[in-house]
Amino acid sequence: MLTYPREGPETIGVITMNARTIVTSLALSLSLVAIAPRTAHPQASATVSCRVLENGAPASGTMVIRSGQQQVATGACGAPVSVRAGAYEVVIRLDGALDRPEQIKNVTVGAAGTSTVSADFPTAILEVRITSGGQRAAGMATLTRAGQQIGTLGSGVAGHLSAGTYDIVARYRTQERRFDAITLAPGQRRALSAAF
Domain spans in the chain, listed from the N-terminal domain onward: 45-121, 123-195
Q: 113: pLDDT confidence band, cut at 50, 70 and 90?
A: confident
pLDDT in tens, 145-162: 999 999 999 999 999 999
Its CATH architecture, for the domain 45-121, is Sandwich (2.60)
| 25 burial level (CB within 10 Å; 0-12, 13-18, 19+) | exposed
3-state secondary structure 125-137: EEEEEEEECCEEC
CATH of domain 123-195: 2.60.40.10
Of residues 92, 105, 110, the one with CA closest to residue 46: 110
Total-model pTM: 0.73
Judge whether 45-121 and 123-195 match in fold. Answer: yes
**What is the H or E stretch that residue 8 is in?**
none
Residue 163 has pLDDT above 50, yes or no: yes
pLDDT for res 26 = 44
β pairing state of 189-195 and 123-132: parallel
Using CA atoms in the order 140, 146, 150, 151, what is the torsion angle rounded to 10 degrees?
Answer: 10
